[in-house]
């Protein structure tokens, strides 16, 4: 096997530092990068345990099984431990082990209550394990991990899943609270995140930390803030050459170690991600892309949980079916679309099982995003600016059209468009409702409105796919970042050195 499955005996006998990673199980997009960080840490000589819940363990295990040591070194030692999630004790139905698996926003407080109990079980497990951790790296909502690490006498690092630029903006907002001084939710406020750049967003575009109503509840937010203030360091999926020095500035602003260890998607060799060796949707995507001309395709995806109101989806769809480029469009939540929208999709997208000649391939399941972004046929990415997707696009040298939905995505948009110069903004002003921002008690659907009209999308796509001077300049900048991204994880690169230092600080 490429990765050694660590038995309790191997874990007990190895002299390698033992890093315990506990991804926040709120969403797959937290689990994916933390698993990849585990793979990278193991390839730098750590013994790694990734603790997760039973429903999420297969996601982790399948990534671990596919990983190859990026530098051709010894087989990494990784064990995946599934600990039952006490959802039932908190009143949740079986299997409610991620936010996207909950029935309604009313379940969110129960999910967080179950997560606290999960912390107690994890702590019990770590106390009794054959090999004590040398360090704990915990996902952003696992505030309980700090007390566990302190009890075990080891350092505790946090992984938010956000980039350093967004973290820097959030730090500024917590400390200086400029959002409290603006009168209207649409008024722009300036966040002087970087010495040479003021990030301008409206109050309603800020992450839920600064929203007056969230289904998480203020107590949870407070716990998270205290947690991040008390940890020993921050692990970030980024690389020092990206984000204009944000990692260093964040370290000064917080007084914490900030370890940029990405782009973590590059922890997988291209061969291990080859969807042609997989079945279903993944192969369908690649066969379809193989028949398309170089840089001709627009890839459209809004992440693992991005669901648009039906009226908005139709406006987007009208733009996609009438634009001159072939489109690979990933739609989440298709099961719950109204009949008329599904009918519209069937009549207007001619994917006919992905026949090579079709113009619009629709994927209603899970698309192999990293492989798609790496495919030579793709020329642009319409993205919701989730940090995972952003960094995967950067690592693939792919220009973006930005359509943020919620969370810290509006901050990421400013970085992509204004700081890095690799994106075109669609011009969205209002966040889309999601399970964390929807009303706590009623599970009613979000208001059926379409802020973004077809014409606005078309305009952004035209700029994105433009191969004139402006478009070529964006493409050039994106390709430059791709080289830097790859270099960061190569021997001697910035992320490589940060990983080495982290692992060897425990030897």
Nearest residue to ligand UDP, scored by beta-carbon proximity: 386
Minimum Å gap between C-beta 237 and ligand UDP is 9
Question: Which region among 75-83, 108-116, 242-250, 386-394 touches ligand UDP (by CB under 6 A)?
Answer: 386-394
Parallel, antiparallel, or unpaired for β 47-52 and 327-330? unpaired
Q: How many residues sit in the footprint of ligand UDP (CB under 6 A)?
A: 19
Alpha carbon separation from 186 to 92, 138, 200, 206, 213 (Å, rounded): 37, 35, 11, 11, 16
Minimum Å gap between C-beta 99 and ligand UDP is 10
**Which residue among 85, 165, 387, 410 contacts ligand UDP (CB under 6 A)?**
387
How far is 320 from 233, CA to CA, in rounded Å?
Answer: 43
**Residues in contact with ligand UDP, shown as a per-residue x/- string from 312 to 341 under the rule CB under 6 A:** ------------------x-----------
Minimum Å gap between C-beta 301 and ligand UDP is 6
Alpha carbon separation from 162 to 158, 178, 300, 394 (Å, rounded): 11, 21, 21, 15
Question: Which region among 165-173, 190-198, 304-312, 462-470 touches ligand UDP (by CB under 6 A)?
Answer: 304-312
Two structure tokens written together for 278: 């997989």
How far is 494 from 31, CA to CA, in rounded Å?
Answer: 23
Burial 180-202 (b: 16+ CB within 10 A, else e): eeeeeeeeebebebbeebebebb
Sequence-ordered strand ranges (E) for 140-277: 156-159, 188-194, 197-202, 233-236, 257-260
Minimum Å gap between C-beta 300 and ligand UDP is 11
27 sits near ligand UDP (criterion: CB under 6 A): yes
**Which residue among 11, 32, 289, 298 contacts ligand UDP (CB under 6 A)?**
32
For the chain, the farthest-separated pair of C-alpha atoms sits apart, in whole angstroms, at 63
How far is 272 from 40, CA to CA, in rounded Å?
Answer: 15
432 sits near ligand UDP (criterion: CB under 6 A): no
What does DSSP assign to residue 255? T
Minimum Å gap between C-beta 438 and ligand UDP is 16
174 sits near ligand UDP (criterion: CB under 6 A): no
25 sits near ligand UDP (criterion: CB under 6 A): no
56 sits near ligand UDP (criterion: CB under 6 A): no
134 sits near ligand UDP (criterion: CB under 6 A): no
**Which residue among 392, 408, 413, 466 contacts ligand UDP (CB under 6 A)?**
392
Residues that bind ligand UDP in the complex, under the rule CB under 6 A = 27-29, 32, 301, 303-306, 330, 366-367, 369-370, 386-389, 392
């Amino acid at each position: 096997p490429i990765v050694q499955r660590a038995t309790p005996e191997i874990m007990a006998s190895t002299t390698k530092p033992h890093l315990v990673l506990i991804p926040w199980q709120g969403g797959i997009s937290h689990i994916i990068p933390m698993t990849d960080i585990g793979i990278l840490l193991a390839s730098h000589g750590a013994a790694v345990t990734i603790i997760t819940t039973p429903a999420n363990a297969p996601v982790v295990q399948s990534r671990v099984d596919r990983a190859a040591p990026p530098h051709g070194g010894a087989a990494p030692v990784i064990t995946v431990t599934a600990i039952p999630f006490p959802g039932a004790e908190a009143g949740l139905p079986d299997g409610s082990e991620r936010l996207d698996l909950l029935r309604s926003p009313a379940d969110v407080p129960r999910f967080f209550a179950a997560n606290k109990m999960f912390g107690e079980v994890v702590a019990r497990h770590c106390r009794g394990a054959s090999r004590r951790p040398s360090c704990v790296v915990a996902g952003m909502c696992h505030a309980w991990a700090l007390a566990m690490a302190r009890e075990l006498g080891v350092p505790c690092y946090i992984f938010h899943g956000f980039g350093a630029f967004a973290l820097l903006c959030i730090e500024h907002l917590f400390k200086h609270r400029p959002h409290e001084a603006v009168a209207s939710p649409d008024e722009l406020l300036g966040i002087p995140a970087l010495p040479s750049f003021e990030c301008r967003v409206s109050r309603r575009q800020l992450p839920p930390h600064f929203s007056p109503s969230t289904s998480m509840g203020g107590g949870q937010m407070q716990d998270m803030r205290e947690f991040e203030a008390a940890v020993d360091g921050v692990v970030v999926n980024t690389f020092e050459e990206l984000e204009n020095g944000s990692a260093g500035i964040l370290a000064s602003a917080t007084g914490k170690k900030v370890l940029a260890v990405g782009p973590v998607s590059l922890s997988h060799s291209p061969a291990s991600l080859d969807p042609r060796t997989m079945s279903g949707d993944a192969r369908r995507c690649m066969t379809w892309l193989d028949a398309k001309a170089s840089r001709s395709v627009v890839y459209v995806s809004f992440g693992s949980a991005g669901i648009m109101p039906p009226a908005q989806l139709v406006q987007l769809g009208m733009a996609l079916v009438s634009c001159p480029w072939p489109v690979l469009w990933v739609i989440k939540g298709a099961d719950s679309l109204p009949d008329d929208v599904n009918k519209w999709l069937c009549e207007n997208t001619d994917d006919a099982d992905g026949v090579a000649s079709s113009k619009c391939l629709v994927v209603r399941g899970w698309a192999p995003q990293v492989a798609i972004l790496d495919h030579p046929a793709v020329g642009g990415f319409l993205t919701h600016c989730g940090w995972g997707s952003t960094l995967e696009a950067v690592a693939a040298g792919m220009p973006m059209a930005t359509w943020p939905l919620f969370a810290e995505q509006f901050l990421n948009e400013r970085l992509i468009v204004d700081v890095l110069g690799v994106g075109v903004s669609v011009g969205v002003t209002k966040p889309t409702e999601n399970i964390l921002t929807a009303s706590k008690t009623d599970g009613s659907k979000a208001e059926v409105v379409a802020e973004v009209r077809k014409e606005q999308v078309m305009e952004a796509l035209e700029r994105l796919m433009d191969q004139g001077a402006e478009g070529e300049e964006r493409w050039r900048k994106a390709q430059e970042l791709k080289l830097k991204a790859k270099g960061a994880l190569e021997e001697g690169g910035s992320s490589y050195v940060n990983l080495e230092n982290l692992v060897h600080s425990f030897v």
